[in-house]
Amino acid sequence: MISSYSLRLPKVVFGGENPMGQLANALRAEGVARTVVLTDASLRRLGIVDSTLSAIRTAGVSFEVIDDIPAEPSYEQVQSVVDRVRKAGADVIVAVGGGSVMDSAKLASVAATDAYTIHDLLADPGQASKQLKCIAVPTTAGTGAEATPNAIVAVPEDEVKIGIVNDAMIPDYVVLDVRTVQNLPRKIAAATGIDAMCHGIECFTSTKANPFSDTFALEAFDLIINNIEQACDDGDALDAKRAMQTAAFYAGIAITASGTTAVHALSYPLGGKFHVPHGVSNAILLSPVMHFNEPAIRERLALAYDRAIGAGATTSEEKSAALIARMDQIVEHLNIPKKLAELGVEDAPIDWLAEAGLKQRRLLVNNMREVTLEDAKAIYEQVI
């Protein structure tokens, strides 16, 4: 655990009853004249964006909707979005969607300038500065992008994903409205929920874990372990869905205060090369990485067991094993593939994957146990 740490948060978070009413009030208070709303066509077709647009209308603010934000976009696709946002001439960006939409909006909030491009930020994210305020309305209970300074983009020429990180990208406002996740398809709820579970346990077992990150990581992990299955299985389980939405936000805060580890580091090549959805790639790697890390993080896993499960196992070793088994059980219950072959990926290039994974130093430095090239190969071998 590090001795020096900090906590960076969105300016305002709206939740509970009528958060959209609070959003309308905030838009008035900010004196916003025009917004641009980023989302995707499926969310708009399902009516999930309607409540946000209604709040914007109530505030008397004009708006333009860009509803073709691609899933897991490349840096070039995000640059195209940025160019359109600039042309819209808005005061504020509103993101209604999952991680890809929110990441695109966050990047647009700092890249709406001639000073640098998204490609420039790949090499030097520190040059970014806030250009437009950003409001995040997450429609999944998983990525935590509404709380983080991170944005993930694909780099097609290298077949990997890269995280651009800058504090200026933390959204200014967050709206947590359970109605936006109420009718989320089970497959998406499961994958994004597992992503949030990974955030919680990785941040708690990170070399950068600290009292701030622990507070949010443990609470998030506890909420997820005890609600994810019901939230995914029962469309009417609003309390469980609200708990997952809160947990995803808390886990995002934990990322900002600490950081994820080898699960996320090794998942990026799977997404970049094979286009495996982010939550699914994390789920595939979760158990192998946890077993690999277990000797180094046993006591932390035991603490997480005490918090989230709390009965049955007695020794640290038993608690650690039981917690990993419980996470594996949840992945299986949610019908998420455990092998790349189940996703149609044949003849995965182990050497390339291992080398690409080890390039994710931003995350691997957080891992309690050093991951060598041979270690990475052995982990990938388990998920072929």
Query: How large is the average pLDDT for residues 314-335?
Result: 98
Q: What is the mean pLDDT of residues 34-42?
A: 96
The pLDDT confidence band at residue 347, using thresholds 50, 70 and 90, is confident
Partnered with residue 95 across adjacent β-strands are 38, 136
> Which of 152, 124, 79, 154 is closest to 363 using CA atoms?
152
Judged against a pLDDT cut of 80, whether residue 2 lies above it is answered with no
Residue 216's contacts (CB-CB under 8 Å, 6 or more residues apart) are: 203, 250, 251, 253, 254, 257
Alpha-carbon gap, residue 58 to 50, rounded angstroms: 12
Q: What average pLDDT score do residues 47-60 get?
A: 96
4 band by pLDDT with thresholds 50, 70 and 90: confident
- Kindly state the tokens that stand for 151: 């944005």
Pick the CATH number of 12-180 from 3.50.50.60, 3.20.20.70, 3.40.718.10, 3.40.50.1970: 3.40.50.1970
CA–CA separation, 116 and 44 (whole Å): 31
- Write down the pLDDT at residue 1: 66
- When pLDDT is cut at 50, 70 and 90, the band that residue 58 belongs to is very high
Confidence of residue 86 (pLDDT cuts 50, 70, 90): very high
Average pLDDT for the chain: 96
- Provide the pLDDT confidence category of residue 308 given band limits of 50, 70 and 90: very high
pLDDT exceeds 80 at position 354: yes
Q: What is the pTM assigned to this prediction?
A: 0.95
User: Are 91 and 35 in contact, with CB atoms under 8 Å apart?
Assistant: yes
Superfamily of 186-381 according to CATH? Dehydroquinate synthase-like - alpha domain (1.20.1090.10)
The mean pLDDT value for 369-380 works out to 98
> Residue 164 forms beta bridges with which residues?
151
Q: Tell me the Ramachandran region of residue 132: left when phi exceeds 0, alpha when psi lies from -120 to 50, beta otherwise.
A: beta
Query: What token pair was written down for 210?
Result: 């600290």
Contact 174/249 with Cβ under 8 angstroms? yes
Give the mean model confidence (pLDDT) for residues 159-170.
93
Tell me the mean pLDDT in the region 280-289.
Answer: 97
**Separation of CA 58 from chain center:** 30
| 74 backbone dihedrals φ, ψ, rounded to 5° | -80, 165
Return the domain boundaries, the chain. 12-180, 186-381
Pick the closest to residue 191 from 76, 314, 99 (CA basis): 99
Q: Are 281 and 271 in contact (CB under 8 A)?
A: yes
pLDDT digits (tens, 9 = 90+) for 179-210: 999 989 999 999 999 999 999 999 999 999 99
Mean predicted confidence (pLDDT) in 253-268: 96
Alpha carbon of residue 2 to chain centroid? 23
Q: What angle do CA 6, 9, 15 make, to 5 degrees?
A: 145
CB 345 within 8 A of CB 274: yes
Tokens of 173: 């406002």
Query: Looking at the predicted structure, is the pLDDT value of residue 160 above 90?
Result: no
Average pLDDT, integer, range 91-106: 97
Residue 220, pLDDT > 90, answer: yes
In DSSP notation, 244-303 reads HHHHHHHHHHHHHHS---HHHHHHHHHHHHH---HHHHHHHHHHHHHHHHHHHHHHHHHH
Helix (H) or strand (E) holding 216: helix 211-225
Of 152-156, 225-229, 293-297, least confident by mean pLDDT is 152-156
